[in-house]
Chains A and B, each alone.
Chain A
Amino acid sequence: MEQKYDQLDEHDIEFLVDKIKQGDKEAFMKVVNLYQKKIFALTYSMVREREDALDLVQEAFLRLYEKIYSYRKGENFNAWLMQIVRNLSIDFLRRKKSRKSDSLESLDIEREDLSAPNENPGKFSPREMIYQAAAELPERQRLVFIFHHFEDLKYEEIATRLNISIGTVKSLHFKAIKKMRRILAPQLGGES
Chain B
Amino acid sequence: MSDAALPAPAAQAPAPRRPMRFRETRRMAATYSRSISAMLGLALVVLFLATAAFGPLVAPFPEDATGAVNFEAKLLPPSAEHLFGTDQVGNDIFSRVLFGARTTLQIGLTVTGIAILIGVPLGLIAGMTGGWVAETIMRVTDIFLSIPGLILAIAIVGALGPGILNAMVALSLVWWPGYVRLVQAKTLSLRNEVYVDAARALGAGPLRILFVHVLPNCLSPIVVKASMDMGMAILGAASLGFLGLGAQPPFPEWGAMIAQGRSYLPDWWWCAFFPGLAIYLTVLGFNLMGDGLRDVLDPRQR
A, B assembled together? no
- Residue numbers of A with Cβ under 8 A of B are none
